[in-house]
Amino acid sequence: MRKVTLTKESTKGILEDLLKRSPNNYGKFEAAVAEILARIKDEGDSALFAYTKQFDKVEITADNIQVTEEEIREAYELVDPSLIDVIRKALVNIRSYHEKQKQNSWFTSETNGTMLGQKVTPLERVGVYVPGGKAVYPSSVLMNVLPAKVAGVDQIVMTTPPGKDGKVNPATLVAAREAGADVIYKVGGAQAIAALAYGTESIPKVDKIVGPGNIFVALAKKAVYGHVSIDSIAGPSEILVLADETANPRYVAADLLSQAEHDELASAILITTSKELAEKVDKEVQGFVEILSRKEIIQKSLDNFGYILIAGNMDEAVEAANAIASEHMEIVTRNPFEVMMKVRNAGAIFIGEYSSEPLGDYFAGPNHILPTNGTAKFFSPLSVDDFVKKSSIIYYSKDALKKIHKDIEQFAASEQLTAHANSIAVRFENEEE
């Protein structure tokens, strides 16, 4: 891994390097995505089935696009019972964590005849996109479906690309059933996003689309935003480890590689105050790369976006970490909770040497759908909040309005909105002040 002395200039250079991975920089694919979206919008199922045959090499029709109960039962028979048990254990933790995020409607009444409040309402229908292909992520199924379920969404619609045999990966189906997905459709890619956003004869239009996917899925979500809501436009995975001389270099190296194996565009960064640790971690990384199964992907990730940054002190290290705003941040220092309090920007923060990033990916409970590419500066992890909407509640009695109607009329008049003023004044036009 590249070892760099931490300065404002080196941090700026790394930030520019990392931002090259953003989906916003893949404009060359936008025209192809726009064509897919337009065809699905205009032609519905016929275009959806044609694209599925073109990209997934499988015949999908109105008769077999929806996963059946029989297919789900078959999936349970195919998945190792011990894995089903693990999925159920993880589900309990994830549900419990998200239940703590629930917000209730609230109202306040005053003796002057006013009542104000906020009504919290679950979304009616949500679409969950689940990637397919070579990688299978039942953990992401849980992370996307469960907060929607906890929020009280009426219908959770899941789409995922089928294999060439026309079937969905069994582990994906088991996770979907356990989490509470209401209906599952065998369709993927930008065409699935279009179907969820616009609706077709087979797939109902949803109010919001969540879930990760490839660059075509990311660009499709970006394009339909505004027509429906979306969670985020996810970029490649990333990890940043803040460490001092007390950290175990073997643990740190292993954690860095846990994200580097995702993608050649994944980012793994160590920021440390110890030159000795930097050298030891680099050596451990080299040893691990030689024996791990995704060796080629890991090496390209490290060559492109892997860094070891050496800081003069922990305050400098934290400042750089806040500037990078990583998706995952591990703090492995003498006083990790003290350091954590100085961190402003991170998707998820893992504290101490036994809280490695995969703990959050699979089991602890917090959501692993996190902001990437520096967006942790202003975005949050997927949560129950993403599946509700809020309405303001306003009630004034006649007496309460009478006391302040002149103030409102003056405010409206100052903006030359006479109809606004009149809407208030008309209620008191025959009354003496």
Tokens of 344: 């402003």
> Cα angle vertex 347, ends 341, 353, to 5°?
60
In the numeric block, the tokens 């970490």 are attached to: 321
CA-to-CA dists, residue 197 to 44, 67, 98, 127, 204, angstroms: 11, 20, 26, 9, 9
Residue 133, classed as helix, strand or coil, is: coil
Q: Is the dihedral of CA 407, 412, 416, 419 positive or negative?
A: negative
CA-to-CA dists, residue 39 to 127, 207, 419, angstroms: 20, 20, 44
- Which positions are annotated as active-site residues? 327-328
Whether 263 and 237 have beta carbons less than 8 Å apart is answered as yes
What are the b/e assignments for 148-166, b being 16+ CB within 10 Å?
bbbbebebbbbbbbbeeeb
